[in-house]
Every structure is written in structure tokens, then in C-alpha cells.
Amino acid sequence: MTDYYARYNANVHRGIHLLSEEATAAYEGARKEIAQLIGAPAPATVLFTRNTTEGINLVAHAWGEKNISAGDEILLTEMEHHANLVPWQMLAGRKKARLSFLSVNTGTGELALEELEQKLTDRTKLVAVTLMSNVLGTINPVKQIVQAAHAKGIPVLVDGAQGVPHLPVNVLDLNCDFLAFSAHKMLGPTGVGVLYGKEALLEQMDPFLGGGDMIRDVWLDRATWNDLPWKFEAGTPDIGGAIAFGAAVAYLKRLGMENVRAHERAITEKVLARFKALSGVTLYGPTDPEKRGAAFSFNVAGVHPHDLGQIFDDQGIAVRAGHHCCKPLMRKLGIVAAARASFYLYNNESEIDRLIEAIHKAQEMFSVVAHR
Ligand SMILES: Cc1ncc(COP(=O)(O)O)c(C=O)c1O
């Protein structure tokens, strides 16, 4: 990103001058890197967006407006982030369609897959599901869900905001129809993400936003659309952000996503064992490291998650505390908030010790207060 702004800061796709050619080559090079990471058949099926949220909204508008009508159903799950819920509520409101939900088993943190057959009805037009829960850490059996949906001719959108940064993901293997994710959760900058879509679906869709770059020709009263992927990239994109996203992805590819997953799986196993030995602490999500990632939401009895966050912060530990943009899931779990410690490839075992010490410290502090 620094290199782009320092050496060849120019707009893309304006050809003619050297700096713009350099910027275009780096921007399109980043698209290729990202396409390779997820096994996309062509870079043109990978669209730059601002983030996961925008990718999902793009589908809700550009695909949803054409394909959803009154009485149709969109099947989601109870563990979706607001980003994969609210756009569908808005679409359903516009179209008088209905949302239905696969339940979450609060004991195991897993989806009730046995409901799938019954909830994929004749009216279901789309399934939208997260690959990994940002609250429970659950890795959902998305391939199986895609197979069940496709057997009934229903396309599937996958929210990859958590899954793609932490797991090897191949869109041809998953066979999903759309996959959205964000750079800022995988070592890249904020403000840039991508949406992968199957070429036939993207071709069939109308643009999401209108303006420069997304057109082939324009008259005063009409316009025609550019080829993929630019049909969906109206206006000047976040060029430096996209280039930086490509650099982050190149780094992750060098490490190997299998190795990233193996590292986090090992961390997960240790964290689960350490939490099991704690008293007065509720950890949410699967207890089998094979079934989850390394984001751990928890509550400590008698300590509000915001207080936990403050005590941890005093010890140099950054956790998120709150509803994690999953308010319906919080209600289902019977809580208003939780603290969440998220581990990634840069975390090590000694940091697990620090976290556990911090939990003990919070318990001590609050029992002191309680005894006064
Ligand atoms: C599972 C999941 N989906 C979607 C999002 C939204 O991502 P963004 O804010 O980058 O659009 C997040 C971010 O926290 C997430 O964890």
C-alpha cells in the first residue's frame, strides 16, 4: 500500500500513462492472487468490494431483485452475523418474501442439520450461511448444505468473513455460488473485500451500482454494461487497499492455509483444555477442536464482559466484548453479551497462559468487591 501511494499513485483502467498502467497491473495482479487463494476458476469471478457486508448486499440487490418474489423463502441460520441477516430482511421486506432459519443447538454450538430437508421447501430461492461463526467458532458443514440445496436447484451464498482467513477454502470444492470475505480479517487493510460469484450467475445479474468503469457505452437515456468483473466495480476503487489485500494473500499462500489451520487447531485444543479446568466460566461453541476455529466467546460468572475487557486491556490483552453483531444468537444463548478472545497465526501458547491468568485476576478482583 505504501509502495503504491509513494511510487505509482494513479487511477486504474485509464491506460495511456505509465503510472496508471502500473497501478492497473498491480490491482489486477491482486485480483489474481485472491482468485488463486480460493480456487476461483477465473479472476473475473472475483469482484472487489468494500467488505463482506457490501458483497452480501450486492447479491441481495443485484441477484435478489431479479430472483426473489412474493412468498419466496430465503433460508439462513440462527448464528448469522447481522451482515448476513439484515440485507436479507431488507430484501424480504421489499419483495414480501420470508426468511427461515436453521436452528443452532446451544449445547453443541452446531447447526441442526436434521432440519435441512424440511426447511429447503419448494419456495426456497436462496440459502445464505456462514462458513465459521464469529461467536461460537463453529465450522459449518457448508459443502453438505450446498449439496442438499443444489439437489433442489437452490443457490448458496457463503459468508466467508471468518472461514476464509482461517481455513483452506476452495470454491470449486465447496461448489458454493457466492462467497464474500474481507481483507481486514486476514492481515490486510480495512475498507476492501471481495465477492466471488459463479460466472453464469454474475453474467445474469444487473449491476449493483451505476457510474464510471462499469459501463460499455452510455447515451443520454441508457447505458450498456462492461464485462465481468468491472460491471460490478463502479467508480474509483480502493486501489491501494486491493493491492495490499493481494500482498496479504500472497503471504498467507506462502505460509499455506493448511499450516494456518493446523496452528490454530493446536491452539484451540490447548485453549479448550485450559478453559475446561476453570470454574465459573462458560465457554460457548463446540468442544471438539476439529469442529471449530480459534475464536472463543465466554462469560465469567459475576463479571460483566465489558469489565472483563477493561481488566484484560490493563494487562495488554485485547478482547472484544459485546454482542458481536449477532444479537439473535445472543438471545438464543440467553445472554446479552460475551467476551471474545480470537487467536490467529501470530498467537502462541504463552498468550493462552496470559489469558487464563487474566481471567483468574478478574475473578479475584470481583470476589474481593463482592466480599466488601
Ligand atoms: C461471520 C462474519 N460475517 C460478516 C462480517 C462482516 O464483515 P465486515 O464488517 O468486514 O463487512 C463479520 C465481521 O465481523 C463476520 O465475523
DSSP letter for each residue of 187-202: TS-TT-EEEEE-HHHH
- Residues 240, 286, single domain; the answer is no
- Residues 224, 278, single domain; the answer is no
For atom 15 of ligand 1, the residue with the nearest CA is 161
- Residues 289, 148, single domain; the answer is no
pLDDT at 16: 82
Cα(180) to ligand 1 centroid in Å equals 9
Statement: residue 259 has pLDDT above 90? yes
Q: b vs e for 125-147, b when ≥16 Cβ sit within 10 Å of the residue's Cβ?
A: bbbbbbbbbbbbbbbbbbeebbe
- Residues 167, 307, single domain; the answer is no
Nearest-angstrom CA–CA distance, 53 and 65: 17
Least confident segment among 1-15, 206-220, 339-353, 357-371: 357-371
Q: Is the CB of 80 under 6 A from ligand 1?
A: no
Q: Is the CB of 297 under 6 A from ligand 1?
A: no
Cα(148) to ligand 1 centroid in Å equals 25
Q: Is the CB of 130 under 6 A from ligand 1?
A: yes
Q: Is the CB of 159 under 6 A from ligand 1?
A: yes
% of the chain residues with pLDDT over 90: 97
Cα Dmax for the chain: 77
Candidate of 79, 134, 158, 245 to mutate for ligand 1, largest count of ligand atoms within 8 Å of Cβ: 134
- Residues 59, 159, single domain; the answer is yes
pLDDT class of 372 with cuts at 50, 70, 90 = very low
Read off the pLDDT of residues 117-149 as tens digits, 9 standing for 90 and up: 999 999 999 999 999 999 999 999 999 999 999
What average pLDDT does this structure show over 332-349? 97
CA 226 to chain centre: 28
Q: How many domains does the chain have?
A: 2
Nearest atom within ligand 1 for CA of residue 55? 11
CB atoms within 10 A of CB 124: 18
- Residues 91, 200, single domain; the answer is yes
Instruction: For the chain, give the mean pLDDT.
Output: 96
Q: Which of 240, 255, 270 is the last residue of a domain?
A: 255
CA angle 359-363-366, nearest 5°?
135
Q: Is the CB of 140 under 6 A from ligand 1?
A: no
Q: What is the dihedral of CA 322, 126, 204, 228, to 10 degrees?
A: 30
- Residues 228, 263, single domain; the answer is no
pLDDT class of 332 with cuts at 50, 70, 90 = very high
What average pLDDT does this structure show over 27-54? 98
Nearest-angstrom CA–CA distance, 345 and 89: 35
For atom 12 of ligand 1, the residue with the nearest CA is 161
- Residues 116, 238, single domain; the answer is yes
Prior bond to 165 cis, omega within 30? no
Nearest-angstrom CA–CA distance, 369 and 372: 6
- Residues 205, 305, single domain; the answer is no
For atom 16 of ligand 1, the residue with the nearest CA is 134
Q: Which of 201, 226, 255 is the last residue of a domain?
A: 255
What average pLDDT does this structure show over 192-217? 97
Nearest-angstrom CA–CA distance, 176 and 156: 6
Q: Which of 193, 220, 255 is the last residue of a domain?
A: 255
For atom 13 of ligand 1, the residue with the nearest CA is 161
What average pLDDT does this structure show over 148-161? 98
Which residues are catalytic, by number?
325
Do 284 and 314 form a contact (C-beta atoms < 8 A)? no
CATH of residue 347: 3.90.1150.10
Cα(34) to ligand 1 centroid in Å equals 18
Q: Is the CB of 295 under 6 A from ligand 1?
A: no
pLDDT at 371: 46
Cα(211) to ligand 1 centroid in Å equals 27
Amino acid letter for position 7 = R
- Residues 277, 249, single domain; the answer is no
Looking up cell 465469567 gives: 300
Statement: residue 109 has pLDDT above 70? yes
Do 38 and 178 form a contact (C-beta atoms < 8 A)? no
Q: b vs e for 13-41, b when ≥16 Cβ sit within 10 Å of the residue's Cβ?
A: beeeeeebbbbbebbbbbbebbbebbebe
Helix axes 257-276, 349-371, angle to 10 degrees: 30
Nearest-angstrom CA–CA distance, 134 and 143: 19
Nearest-angstrom CA–CA distance, 47 and 268: 33
Nearest-angstrom CA–CA distance, 359 and 348: 18
| SS3 state of residue 150 | helix
CATH of residue 204: 3.40.640.10
CA angle 132-181-313, nearest 5°?
70
Statement: residue 15 has pLDDT above 90? no
Q: Is the CB of 162 under 6 A from ligand 1?
A: yes
Q: Is the CB of 53 under 6 A from ligand 1?
A: yes
Q: Is the CB of 342 under 6 A from ligand 1?
A: no
Cα dist from 222 to 31, 45, 66, 143, 210, whole Å: 30, 26, 19, 41, 11
Nearest atom within ligand 1 for CA of residue 184? 10
Nearest-angstrom CA–CA distance, 279 and 74: 41
Statement: residue 75 has pLDDT above 60? yes
Nearest atom within ligand 1 for CA of residue 80? 1
Cα(53) to ligand 1 centroid in Å equals 7
Nearest-angstrom CA–CA distance, 217 and 224: 5
What average pLDDT does this structure show over 331-356? 97
Cα(2) to ligand 1 centroid in Å equals 26
What average pLDDT does this structure show over 201-218? 96
pLDDT class of 368 with cuts at 50, 70, 90 = low
- Residues 48, 123, single domain; the answer is yes
Statement: residue 157 has pLDDT above 50? yes
What average pLDDT does this structure show over 334-343? 97
Cα(329) to ligand 1 centroid in Å equals 15
Domain, as residue range, for 98: 2-255
Q: Is the CB of 194 under 6 A from ligand 1?
A: no
Cα dist from 194 to 43, 164, 262, 361, 364, whole Å: 11, 11, 25, 41, 45
DSSP H/E element including 158:
strand 156-159
pLDDT at 14: 74
- Residues 248, 264, single domain; the answer is no
